[in-house]
Amino acid sequence: MSNDDDLFNQDGLADEWASALAEQAEPVELESFEEPKPSGLTEDERQKLDSILDIPVTISMEVGRSNISIRNLLQLNQGSVVELDRVAGEPLDVMVNGTLIAHGEVVVVNEKFGIRLTDVISQTERIKKLK
């Protein structure tokens, strides 16, 4: 595949994501982390905070959970069904490094899964959970 083909596919994918996002009921404005400057921080502390904001994290979507015994875990094989603690249609949990930050619903764009955020936990609440 040539670079021109890559650009065409990326543009097409971007267009499909844009149209999927346009289907949202309300436009979503992302908050800038810089707006609510924590008061009482020295310039050195602010610089340290800025460097932390560039650290990559792992984001995952959790459909549900289940507790099973090791005996049952070892008996799982192809075709096994594990019942989860969620009702069908219930929002997924969006986790960052194991911390809940939002809820969302599954969308499919260009034959790939994505998630549309339906409820985002406030920045203040997320920071409190980190402590």
| Integer angstrom CA distances of residue 26 from 1, 23, 29, 108, 117 | 38, 9, 10, 19, 12
| Average pLDDT score over residue span 33-39 | 53
Question: Is the pLDDT higher at 105 or at 127?
Answer: 105
Residue 6: what pLDDT?
Answer: 45
**Strand ranges in the chain using DSSP code E only, listed in sequence order:** 59-62, 92-96, 99-109, 112-120
Q: Give the pLDDT of residue 88.
A: 86
> What domains are defined for the chain?
57-130 (2.30.330.10)
Question: How do residues 65-118 score in pLDDT, each as one tens digit?
Answer: 999 999 999 999 999 999 999 888 889 999 888 888 999 998 998 889 889 999
Q: Helix or strand or coil: residue 10?
A: helix
